[in-house]
Amino acid sequence: MTITAALSENRNTLVIQVDDKFDFGKVQSFREAYDKLPDTVKVIEVDLSQTEYMDSSALGMLLNMQKSLSDRKIEYKITHCRAQVSRILKISRFDKKFVIA
């Protein structure tokens, strides 16, 4: 598994699930996950439940996603983080730009 994206039944939430490594090798597939986003989507959830490693390029990908969709009113969530990944997000102050649950 690499990166998968799924719309909720009511089509207002897109869940992007990342596998064990969230790094530069995932740039293209991460971008493709939200590239053709339906207008109905109001929430993007990035599920990191499987992610054991992330680097600075992963942080950049998250910020680029927000920037590329900045013309839309979307809530961004990062969910199910393991302790190590959660620490990286907090140290990087991502809790100021994303809901981390």
Residue 1 has pLDDT above 80, yes or no: no
Domain span holding position 90: 3-100
Tens of pLDDT, residues 48-71 = 999 999 999 999 999 999 999 999
Token pair 């990035």 in the structure block, residue: 46
Residue 2 has pLDDT above 90, yes or no: no
**Average confidence (pLDDT) over 75-83:** 97
CA 29-31-35 angle, 5° bins = 120
Task: Show the tokens assigned to 17.
Answer: 């699930």
Rounded CA-CA distance 67/31 in Å is: 12
Token pair 């089509």 in the structure block, residue: 11
Provide the CATH number for the domain around residue 68. Answer: 3.30.750.24
Rounded CA-CA distance 55/74 in Å is: 24
Tens of pLDDT, residues 29-51 = 999 999 999 999 999 999 999 99
Q: Which residues contact 86 (CB under 8 A, 6 or more apart)?
A: 100
Average pLDDT value over all residues in the chain: 96
Based on the structure, what is the number of domains in the chain?
A: 1
Distance from chain centroid for Cα 14: 10
